[in-house]
Structure 1
Amino acid sequence: MRNLTVLICDDNVAVHESISAYLNAENINVVSVYDGEKGLEQLQQRHFDMVILDIMLPKMFGTDVCREIRKTSDVPILMLSAKSEELDRIIGLELGADDYVTKPFSPREVVTRIKTILKRTTPKIEKKVRFAELSIDMEAYSAFVHDVKIEFTPKEIETLYCLASNQGKVLSREQILNKVWGYDYYGDARVVDTQIKRLRQKLAIDDVHFAIKAVYGVGYKFEIL
């Protein structure tokens, strides 16, 4: 569906370079910031699957950043700390950090910790789901209505699953883009409208009790009728 994205918040360029190299090799996207305030700005602007957070940061300590993050988000946080910062590290864990690594560290160890945390916290996609007369098999990339297969393109299937698995929840075009096309997609958001139009045409079947509805000025939602 999409690649994972990790935010690295550290004032040491070498830390960014070493961790990024390993994460990119694992097909994990990286966004780098170098002070605490910029880290919070990024988190307010977009979704991240994980945050790597140094304790000693310019403008705002990592422990304060962690406290602010936990007011609104449960995104996994891996804290980086020097041995002399043991008290701050403990405070960070008490504030809700998921793990910590002591500097100096092996980039490979950090990436191993990251993968372990992501594996534990990333929700598993249900391969086969059913919504009223609609059933979706993400393993086979196929969908059926009244047990009759409907021909969809891969992106149509992903868009349909995205909406149906968030049944009753309104998703903006940007949210759908991020979930289906990924955060590195910079194309026109109207591609979502085109996909929805195609889905509706293919799902215009008699005697069904579900629908994809537009919510003016917001986005789309999948409803059981």
Structure 2
Amino acid sequence: MLKISNVTMKFGGVVAVNNFTANINKGEIVGLIGPNGAGKTTVFNVVTGVYKPTEGQVLFNSGDEKVISTLRPDEIAYLGVCRTFQNIRLFKELSVLDNVFIGGHLRLKSNVFSSILRLPSYNREEKEMLEKSNYLLEKVGLYGERNEKAFSLPYGKQRRLEIARALATDPKLLLLDEPAAGMNPQETGELMEFISVIKEEFDLTIFLIEHHMEVVMGICEKIYVLDHGTLIAEGNPEEIQNDSKVIEAYLGVD
């Protein structure tokens, strides 16, 4: 579904990502790990069109393979690639429901004139989007808080809301940037179960960055490891746990 081919990302003289290659198959949960500053979020930014790679390309295949590394973020999202962020980026002053509702606007077919004039076609789409938003909030356990302001939610529920907003775009590939950041052990366990459930419920392929090794080793089928922008290991959880280069990158050597 996703092929990252020999991607290099430079910022002036700094090489943030160096010749990185990865393949993600449909239905997989794949992890991207590495020490702070390893280049993980830069990879996500390249995949989602925030950055154009200095070298290499990104291909996305949801039935028709396309090079997406030349597209805008909104064009990539429309194809079915959506993400959450390391630092939660909700519309904090809007309601929980409105945050999800906004995500659904990507799929609206009506134009600005039909919305201003409140034409029947727009009203029908708006009603369908409202029903879909409420359905997603039920699925992530936030329906009871749908009318509350987003900022009033506890941290773990804000994470769920951000994922619900991403689901409103009808993604095929969901990128999660440190979804367990700031969570306590109970919330982390609930998150692992939640990710597994939404993967099956919405037929998702998931690519995630995470520092919580419990999460990565518990739900990922394949893991890529970056260190200083360079891929140093790839494999299943057991192979990664026993890889000497990975151990050195995280713990150092005597």
Same fold, TM exceeding 0.5?
no
Larger RCO (CA within 8 A; separation ≥ 6)? 2
Q: Name the TM-score, length of structure 2 as normaliser.
A: 0.28
Q: Name the TM-score, length of structure 1 as normaliser.
A: 0.31
Please tell me whether Structure 1 or Structure 2 has the larger radius of gyration of its CA atoms: 1
